[in-house]
Amino acid sequence: MEDCLRDFDRLRQPPEILLMRPKKPKEEWQGVNKLLTKNLSAMRKEWQQIDKLLTALADRYYQLKRRTPWTVDDPEWPQRNLLALKPLRQQAEAMVKDYDARLRARQARRDPARERLFRRLFEIWTACFDGKLAVTISRGKPPSGPLIHFILAVLTPLTLTLWEGKLPSPDTIRDLARQEQRRRAAIVRVVSIAKNNLKPPFCRTD
């Protein structure tokens, strides 16, 4: 928790304070953010090219399947390779969507210090307290539950020192928790697809 709050304090410092330091964390973060955005764009482009190549290859196998007569020794070999390409194409499509989402999130980022703080707090909540990224929804009432109590318990004392402005509302915390759920679910999907692609494709041996 101390490291989490220390990072938040370092990233939120105003320019006049940062100018007094040999290193400028905010400028350093901006440089890192620019580099990460460039790398994400490059990786998305690479997976887009892979997706394009796999789609073209699948189309060629489909044409071969249609032209392969049943009189040959193994008329099903194009179909087997076509089926083997399916999980690879699914993985490529999933990776493109994942990088799209990550780029949109980074480009729309308004307060990197607070975003990093919330992500770290969610990690502490689930890893250290075995909590869930879920809230209680009751008709006519704001979201509630242990997660919201935890976040507000951490942030409320910071209003005297680190936190500027109003504390996040329960609705905001709910929305941030849902975003974190989607981010983690996307990672799980990509890992699952990658594991399924460990099987070697069927190839013609003659």
Q: Report how far residue 191's alpha carbon sits from residue 73's, in angstroms, rounded to the nearest whole number.
A: 37
| Ranges of each domain in the chain | 2-196
0.75 exceeded by the pTM?
A: no
Segment 63-103, tens digit of pLDDT: 988 888 877 788 888 888 888 888 888 888 888 888 887 77
Q: Is pLDDT of 11 > 90? A: no
Q: Which residues pair with 136 in a beta bridge?
A: 144
Task: Please list, residue by residue across 121-145, b when 16 or more beta carbons sit within 10 angstroms of its beta carbon and e when fewer do.
Answer: bbeebeeeeeeebebeeeeeeebeb
Largest CA distance in the chain: 82
Q: Is pLDDT of 158 > 60? A: yes
Please provide the distance, in angstroms rounded to a whole number, between the alpha carbons at the two ends of the chain: 62
